[in-house]
């Protein structure tokens, strides 16, 4: 199927970009956990979480409508100029208003949560990031809409590398503490802005006189429920940070952030490439070919997702303790007791990029919003119930409960429009295979921890890879073709 092959190609592009970002993030992870105190690392995560939520608001729903509406305007130069002018001008307006409100209110908000006043400066420095990040998101969605996945990922990697170099550099050598770190983050985002808008204005015309109020309203009307859905999703992911700092303080927040961050790195490696690749493809397939080819495409994608995430979650549980000790040091080792729970919850959230296709394609964005609001309510309620007694583990269980809730509600609502099917034999096979892998890895005990971790990773990958090739004919065919291609290339080179 051509669409599925395109999904594999696009996914590989996004996966490559996010894999590089993951590796870079893992390089900074041990540096930051060793340089910063528990309190500072907790605040670092809280600033990032707060900005993620505020950026969602600052986008105003405009960028969410770009992929859905772009093709309707792209074939006519005049209409495209109106589309471009509207998205950029309104995007600048929304970002400016939200940034001003954020800068004015954040000191009082921090005081209400009981955050030490010395941590207010990092929040305020990120105001500049809040202003430019939503505008960058507009251009990034243009890249997705026109299929420029390579440039999308190269820009992401450039931004990530710049952020790491500048943030760590300033933290170490210029402005010690979190203020220096976040000042470097802001400089890196401004560099990304320069790169993106240089491409954008070289390819698209812009004029304030062409801004269309009716188009802006259409984009916002379509995107507002998706904006609120994203906001609810972010609340679901990050509310626990605010509740932890209020109930348990900055030190417990730092402890939880380590366990969450590692699980999030691993989940994002799979979830974001899939979500970025699959939505434009199934939207185009549905428009051109209708319901049944789209259903077949989504069924295939869902089963491949299951084949990947079951070994991922169980394998992470097998190596989590060693991974945290190696990357974050012994002082965070106890985070391994709840980090795998967080990953499972995030995986349930991630599968919605496939499960909610029926709602997305029939433009039932209010239903998508309702699902995320219910999941966010479950997260907040469960956190309030478990946090006082269970601490960080309670927050992890709240994430799991919310993730399962979101997946179940999405199935109930979305499958009325496009009912997908999970291959039960695939589910059982990979559960059993992953269980065997876990049992074997649990028998490995020797020092040092870093070598033990490498052995577990290689052995676990070998077990899952062999099991997948044994069962999946398509994977064996792809592997044979790949080997044959390498052989032809070698013969041609000689």
Joined tokens for residue 425: 């034999």
The band of 2, judged by pLDDT with boundaries at 50, 70 and 90, is very low
The full set of domain ranges for the chain reads: 36-211, 240-487
Q: Which tens digits make up the pLDDT trace of 75-96? A: 878 888 888 888 888 888 989 9
- Per-residue confidence (pLDDT) for residue 344, from 0 to 100: 95
The alpha carbon of 295 is separated from its chain's Cα centroid by a whole number of angstroms, namely 25
- Average pLDDT for 41-46: 87
> pLDDT of 192-231, one tens digit each?
999 999 998 888 888 888 888 887 787 777 777 777 777 7
Distance of alpha carbon 29 from alpha carbon 47, whole angstroms: 16
DSSP structure class, residue 115 = -
- Between the CA atoms of 111, 113, 117 and 119, what dihedral angle is there, to the nearest 10 degrees? -140
Element (H, E) at 226: helix 213-247
- Is the pLDDT reported for residue 13 higher than 70? no
Predicted structure pTM score: 0.74
- The pair phi, psi for residue 339, each rounded to 5°, is -60, -45
User: Which sign, positive or negative, has the C-alpha torsion 453, 457, 459, 464?
Assistant: positive
Structure confidence by residue, pLDDT tens digits, 328-383: 888 888 899 999 999 999 999 888 888 888 887 887 878 888 888 899 899 999 99
pLDDT band with cut points at 50, 70 and 90 for residue 318: very high
Q: How far apart are CA 281 and CA 111, in angstroms?
A: 46
pLDDT at 455 over 80: yes
For the stretch 246-270, pLDDT in tens is 888 888 888 898 899 889 888 877 6
Using one digit for the tens of pLDDT, what is the confidence trace for 374-421?
998 999 999 999 988 898 999 999 999 999 999 999 999 988 888 888
Average per-residue pLDDT for the chain: 84
DSSP secondary structure, 397-460, as one string: HHHHHHHHHHHHHHHHHHTTTS-----HHHHHHHHHHHHHHHHHHTT---S-HHHHHHHHHHHH
């Amino acid at each position: 199927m051509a669409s599925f092959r395109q999904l594999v190609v696009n996914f590989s592009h996004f996966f490559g970009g996010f894999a590089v970002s993951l590796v870079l993030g893992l390089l900074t992870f041990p540096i930051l956990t060793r340089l910063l105190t528990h309190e500072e690392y907790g605040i670092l995560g809280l600033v990032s979480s707060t900005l993620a939520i505020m950026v969602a608001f600052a986008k105003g729903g405009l960028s969410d409508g770009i992929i859905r509406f772009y093709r309707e305007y792209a074939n006519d130069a005049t209409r495209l100029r109106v589309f471009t002018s509207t998205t950029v001008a309104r995007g600048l307006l929304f970002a400016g208003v939200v940034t001003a409100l954020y800068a004015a209110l954040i000191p009082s908000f921090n005081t209400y949560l009981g955050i030490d006043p010395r941590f207010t400066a990092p929040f305020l420095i990120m105001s500049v990031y809040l202003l430019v990040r939503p505008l960058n998101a507009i251009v990034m969605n243009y890249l997705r809409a026109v299929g420029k996945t390579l440039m999308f990922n190269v820009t992401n990697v450039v931004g990530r590398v710049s952020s790491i170099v500048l943030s760590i550099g300033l933290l170490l050598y210029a402005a010690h503490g979190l203020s220096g770190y976040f000042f470097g983050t802001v400089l890196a985002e401004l560099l990304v802005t320069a790169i993106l808008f240089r491409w954008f204005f070289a390819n698209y015309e812009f004029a304030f006189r062409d801004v269309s109020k009716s188009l802006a309203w259409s984009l916002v009307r379509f995107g507002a429920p998706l904006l609120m859905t994203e906001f609810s999703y972010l609340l679901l992911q990050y509310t626990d940070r605010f509740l932890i700092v209020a109930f348990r303080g900055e030190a417990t927040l730092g402890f939880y952030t380590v366990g969450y961050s590692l699980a999030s790195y691993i989940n994002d490696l799979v979830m974001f490439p899939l979500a970025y690749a699959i939505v434009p493809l199934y939207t185009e397939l549905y428009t051109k070919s209708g319901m049944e080819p789209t259903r077949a495409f989504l069924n295939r994608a869902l089963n491949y997702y299951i084949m990947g995430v079951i070994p991922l979650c169980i394998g992470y549980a097998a190596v989590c303790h060693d991974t945290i000790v190696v990357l974050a040091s012994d002082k965070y080792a106890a985070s391994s007791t709840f980090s795998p729970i967080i990953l499972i919850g995030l995986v349930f959230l991630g599968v919605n990029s496939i499960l909610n296709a029926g709602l997305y394609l029939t433009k039932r964005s209010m239903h998508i919003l309702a699902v995320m609001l219910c999941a966010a309510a479950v997260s907040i309620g469960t956190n309030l119930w478990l946090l006082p007694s269970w601490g960080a583990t309670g927050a992890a269980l709240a994430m799991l409960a919310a993730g399962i809730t979101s997946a179940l509600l999405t199935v109930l609502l979305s499958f009325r429009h496009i009912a997908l099917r999970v291959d039960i034999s695939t589910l059982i096979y990979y559960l059993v295979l992953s269980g065997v892998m876990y049992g074997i890895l649990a028998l490995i005990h020797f020092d040092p921890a870093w070598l033990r971790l490498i052995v577990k990773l290689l052995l676990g990958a070998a077990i899952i890879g062999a099991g997948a090739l044994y069962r999946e004919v398509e994977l064996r065919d792809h592997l044979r073709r790949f080997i044959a291609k390498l052989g032809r290339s070698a013969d041609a080179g000689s």
